[in-house]
Amino acid sequence: MTSTESPVRIAVSDAPGQPERTADLDALYRRFEDELLVPLWTEIGDLMPAHPTPAARAHLWRWDTLLPLAGRAGELVPVGRGGERRAIALANPGLGGAPYATPTLWAAIQYLCPREDAPVHRHTQHAFRFVVAGEGVWTVVDGDPVAMRRGDFLLTPGWRFHGHHNVSDAPMAWLDGLDIPFAHQTGSGFFELGPDTVTERATPARSRAERLWAHPGLRPVSSAGERTGSSPIAAYRWEHTDQALTDQLALEDEGHPGVVEPGHAAVRFTNPTTGGDVLPTIRAEFHRLRPGAATATRREVGSSVFQVFTGEASVRVGDAAWTATRGDLFAVPSWQPLTISTRSGADLFRFSDTPIFERLGQDRVQTEGAAR
C-alpha cells in the first residue's frame, strides 16, 4: 500500500489534552506512518494499562480429546529427522493460532509408538517432561538414559543432546513443557541435530544424574554434572513428590505448619545447587488439595499451565470455569484470578514462567485482593 492511499491509522483521541483534529494534524500522523513512527500519546492506554491485560486467554484442553488425536498421529505420522518429535502443542485461542499455550510457554502432548525412537538433537530452549500415565520410554540426556514413569517430572535443560526411545510394546504419551514461545518471540533460540546413530539403548531404573544428585539434602562434593542455571537432577520421581505431599497434609492434621493454606499441600521442584527453580525460565510445582478444599483466589504476574494428575478439580480463571479431571490441561494468563476447589480431592501439576519475572524484579502476587 502506498502512502497516499493509506488511511491514517492513528485515531485522534477525545481524551483531555488532545488537540482538535485538523488537516495539519492528519498530515503529521500520515508522516509518522510513512516513517514507521508511532506517538505514545495515541497508544498509551493499550500499551501501558493500569494492570496486565494479556492477549492470552484462559483455556482448557481435555486429555480425552488430546490422547486419541495423538494416537491417530501415531498411526499416520512417522517420527524422524526433520519433524524430530511427534509433539502436538496447545495453541492458546488468544494468541492468533501460534503453538503457544501462553506467550512464553510451550505445552505439548508427545506420543511414541512401541519400539519407536525420537532422534537426538539439542536446543537452547529449556524442556521438561511430566508423565500423567504410562511408562516404557527412556529419554536419553547427554548419553544418560532416564526412565519415564507415571508421576515423574524430568528435565532436559537447554543445549543437552537428547533423544527418546520406547522400549515397550505399548505406546506412551506425556506432557512436554518448554520455553519455545519465549525463545521464538525474543529471537534467542539455537538448535542443532545430533548424531543419526541411535542413542544409548540401556534401560536403567535410575539415571546417572539421579544417582549423583538426587539424595535428599546431599550433593556431591565434586561438581560433576553441575551447570549454571539448571538443576542437575534428571528426574524427580513420583514416590518422593507423593511422600512430600502426604507428609505436609499429615503435619497439618497434627497441627504443625507446612501447607500453603488449609487443605492445600504444595511442593516446588528445585535445583539442589541453588534451592531455586529447576530451569532458568520455568518453575514447576505439584499441588494436592484435600477433598472439600479450596484455594484462595490468587493472581500473579506471569502465565502458567496446569495438568490434573488425579481427582476432579473445579477451576475458575477470571470469567472461565471448568471441571477438570485426569490429564486435562488449562492455561492461566498473567494476572487472571485463579481459584481451584475440589469435592473429591485433586492432585495438580503446574508450571509457569515466574522465574523470568522474578529475575527481572517484575513479579507480583495478589491473594484475595490483598497485595503480598
The minimum distance between CB 332 and ligand GTQ, in angstroms, equals: 20
Q: How far apart are CA 277 and CA 230, in angstroms?
A: 8
Q: How far apart are CA 368 and CA 356, in angstroms?
A: 24
Q: Which of 79, 131, 178, 331 binds ligand GTQ (CB under 6 A)?
A: 178
66 forms part of the interface with ligand GTQ (CB under 6 A): no
Q: Which of 87, 132, 140, 214 binds ligand GTQ (CB under 6 A)?
A: 87
Query: What x/- string results for residues 111 through 150 when contact with ligand GTQ is judged by CB under 6 A?
Result: ------------x---x-----------------------
CA nearest 348: which of 277, 301, 293? 293
176 forms part of the interface with ligand GTQ (CB under 6 A): yes
DSSP secondary structure of 290-314: -TT-BPPPEEESS-EEEEEEEE-EE
Q: How far apart are CA 306 and CA 328, in angstroms?
A: 8
H/E element, 367:
strand 365-367
Pairing of strands 127-130, 191-193: unpaired
The minimum distance between CB 94 and ligand GTQ, in angstroms, equals: 21
282 forms part of the interface with ligand GTQ (CB under 6 A): no
- 325 exposure class (CB count in 10 Å sphere: 0-12, 13-18, 19+): middle
Residue closer to ligand GTQ, measured from CB, 101 or 346: 101
The minimum distance between CB 85 and ligand GTQ, in angstroms, equals: 4
Q: Which of 85, 184, 227, 364 binds ligand GTQ (CB under 6 A)?
A: 85
Residue closer to ligand GTQ, measured from CB, 92 or 295: 92
Cβ contacts of residue 127 below 8 Å, gap of 6+? Answer: 155, 156, 157, 158, 162, 176, 177, 178
Binding site for ligand GTQ (CB under 6 A): 85, 87, 108, 110, 123, 127, 162, 176, 178
